[in-house]
Amino acid sequence: MLMWSAAHAGAATHPGNTFQAGPGFPESSITTFIFIHCAETTGNDEKLSATGHEQAGALTAFLSDMEVAAVYAPFKNCLVETVQPLASAQRRKVEYFRDATTEAPDAMKHILDVMMEKHKGKTIVICAPAASIKVMAGMLGIKEKALKTGRGTFNEVLLVNVWWFGEAVAQKLNMNFQKKV
């Protein structure tokens, strides 16, 4: 989180470049996508287990210091239940989108572009299946080799920062909710 905070606080300067925000440029040049997989489910009915509900609460606590402009999820019980507490805490509604990563990639790219335009320079949380997260990150400009394959578990959060000029950088975080610090 500290690296994300440092990068987000320095949004006016792109690492490795001398670009400085100024007249004619957006105040915040970074739109941040936070991708999260659904919390633990009870099985085939795709509802969250007791542990899953605890994980959803932990996600809310994990992101409590961050202002989230929007919370998105495809209309699927486990995904919506995972981010509903976060949306409520941020005084937002979970906004639904069609997960078209497999059957209509152009439509999915358009959906992401609309999300980014609507919330430019802000933070967006998307809860989706692990395979869809990988595809969406690629659509935002993250090269597949930069995404280390994880287990697709809930506690792996993928942060994607997209600069106004289209360059993207990803960082995988492990919330490690099981450890007490």
Q: Which residues contact 36 (CB under 8 A, 6 or more apart)?
A: 59, 82, 83, 125, 126, 127, 154, 157, 158
Specify the pLDDT at position 163: 83
Specify the pLDDT at position 3: 34
Q: Tell me which DSSP letter residue 179 carries.
A: S
Specify the pLDDT at position 15: 35
Instruction: Compute the distance between CA of residue 118 and CA of residue 138 in angstroms, rounded to an integer.
Output: 20
pTM: 0.78
158, two tokens:
């993928």
Give per-residue pLDDT as tens, 65-116: 999 999 999 999 999 999 999 999 999 999 999 999 999 999 999 999 999 9
Specify the pLDDT at position 150: 55
Specify the pLDDT at position 70: 98
Q: Digits of tens for pLDDT over the chain (181 positions)?
A: 333 333 443 333 333 333 344 444 445 579 999 999 999 998 777 899 999 999 999 999 989 999 999 999 999 999 999 999 999 999 999 999 999 999 999 999 999 999 999 999 999 999 999 889 989 999 998 887 666 655 555 667 888 889 866 688 888 776 654 433 3
Specify the pLDDT at position 149: 55
Cα–Cα nearest to 1, from 48, 80, 59, 44: 59
Instruction: Compute the distance between CA of residue 88 and CA of residue 135 in angstroms, rounded to an integer.
Output: 28
Specify the pLDDT at position 175: 63
Q: In the chain, what are the domain boundaries? A: 30-166
Indicate the CATH number for domain 30-166. 3.40.50.1240
Specify the pLDDT at position 154: 61
Cα–Cα nearest to 73, from 34, 110, 30: 34
